Amino acid sequence: MGYVTGYEHDIFISYAHIDNTPFGTEKGWVTAFVDDLKNYLDRGLGCRDVSIWMDRELTCNEAFAGSIEDALRNSATLLVVASPGYLGSEWCKRERNAFHGAVREKARSGSRMFRVDLDDLNRDDLPAEIGAILPCRFWAKDRNGNPRTLGMPVCDATRGDDYISELTRLRVDLARELKRLKSLHSSDAVSPLASPAIYLAEVTDDLDGLRDELDAYAKQAGLRVLPEAWYPRDDMTEYRRRMTADLAQSKAYVQLLGGLPGKRPPGWPMRLPAVQCDAARQAGLPILQWRAREVDLESVKQTCPEHYELLMGADVRMCGTEEFKRAVIDEALRPARKATEKKSHASDIHVFVNSATPDLELARAVCKLLGDEGIGSSLPLSDESAKVADVREDLETQLSTCDGLILVYGSAPVAWVRRQYAQGRKIISQRESPLIAMGLVDGPPPEKASVDFQVPNMHSLDWRNGIRPDILREFIAALRG
């Protein structure tokens, strides 16, 4: 018996025997890898109970033996070692129906499957049940740009940080799943599914390594990372349905953005990164996006305006990767915000009207209209003799304590408005209770650059052609609930 109650084995290893051919050593790559994985899992779980089954004797020319099928059905999880050899295996081709039938049964039972890639594979070339699994990449490109298996010609845990990093990531994933499955048989155990989750969006190829790094970092912090399998891209409706289900379990949406725009699947109106971000906004999740400072924005703007708009979003951060990773963890572990308390009287409501110096007169007009409705308001600190630190502290205090927020965009540069919104989001996200309402006063002059950000439930107050008290009253109604 293994670590998981009710199973004879914890992990079933499916691989092509050609990938385990020794290169002048006693052990082949797969055998050495499985030994390393066993040692890492034992240490991670604090016991020596983990049972890993792999066929070390049958050749790839033998039929799908009863012993293999029995072992597969009696294993808690399945780990596929995918490679060109795996795809070309005569055993896999001949016995695919029987093997994949067992895989589908395991998927229906709620058990996760795992995949290790030894080469740069196109997931569309893999059988559907295997291709959907998010892989651990035990390969990297050499100086000539050619893929090589980590640790080759012999798998050795001392052969580089990349191998150790992927092994650690796989161990964390497997340990979490084995603990979850074990907890299903114990009424006293707390299921890891109760852990906070983040949604980590798909990325372009140039950011695969950083996504893997963030994935491992989040899991080490005790978070679940969704999705646990790729979604089909032949149907955008189904893709979004599955994504929406995972977003519903998540506390934050996390997206890494680079200079590459991402693919647009056939028949889709938008590229994949934009579709994912749009679904997250529809779900109302906190959004944390990162982009590299070295991205050539002007070049992206010329070649792919859609991706440029995504890169320029108000939620995009340009910071160090370590800072961003900590921000993700902080957001995911933040206690649930309290429900908005209804104010007993209009005078209990306070609105912060944020504006730049050129728009102070317009902001004062907003404050007067709010006052006419019995609602208190305040403007940003504008004393020219005030220190920068005092101005910043005042801004943070206003954003942390106000019930409503109005950004005024008139003659001020559009960059100021975007910067205020982006900075404000960081402060607002840390509040114990959310804002009751947020608005954007779009004042004169009529012809000017668009702010180009969309926020769910933000009230757009069109004052380009003059002050409109009737439009402001819609915002006031939202404040009063």
Average pLDDT over residues 289-301: 91
Neighbours of 465 (CB within 10 A): 10
Q: What is the pLDDT of residue 37?
A: 93
Per-residue pLDDT tens digits for 359-369 = 999 999 999 99
Three-class DSSP category at 369: helix
Ranked by mean pLDDT, the top range of 27-41, 51-65, 78-92, 327-341 is 27-41
Contact 258, 401 (CB under 8 A): no
> Residue 237 and residue 346: Cα distance in Å, rounded?
44
137-142 own/partner pairs: CB under 8 Å, 24+ apart: 137/166, 137/208, 137/212, 138/33, 138/163, 138/166
Neighbours of 127 (CB within 10 A): 15
Q: Which residues of 381-399 are buried (b: 16+ CB within 10 A; e: fewer)?
A: eeeeeeeeeeeeebbeebb
Q: What are the residue ranges of helices labelled H in 194-265?
A: 208-220, 236-247
Neighbours of 175 (CB within 10 A): 20
Domains of the chain: 1-191 (3.40.50.10140), 195-334 (3.40.50.10140), 346-480 (3.40.50.2300)
Integer Rg of the chain from CA = 27
Per-residue pLDDT tens digits for 105-116 = 665 555 678 899
Q: What is the pLDDT of residue 324?
A: 92
> Residue 56 and residue 15: Cα distance in Å, rounded?
10
> Residue 369 and residue 376: Cα distance in Å, rounded?
10
Q: Please, is 314 exposed, middle or buried when counting C-beta atoms within 10 Å of its C-beta (0-12, 13-18, 19+)?
A: buried
Per-residue pLDDT tens digits for 162-180 = 888 889 889 988 998 888 8
Q: What is the pLDDT of residue 366?
A: 93
Has residue 157 got a pLDDT over 80?
no
User: Which of the two residues, 480 and 30, has the higher pLDDT score?
Assistant: 30
Per-residue pLDDT tens digits for 347-360 = 578 999 999 999 99
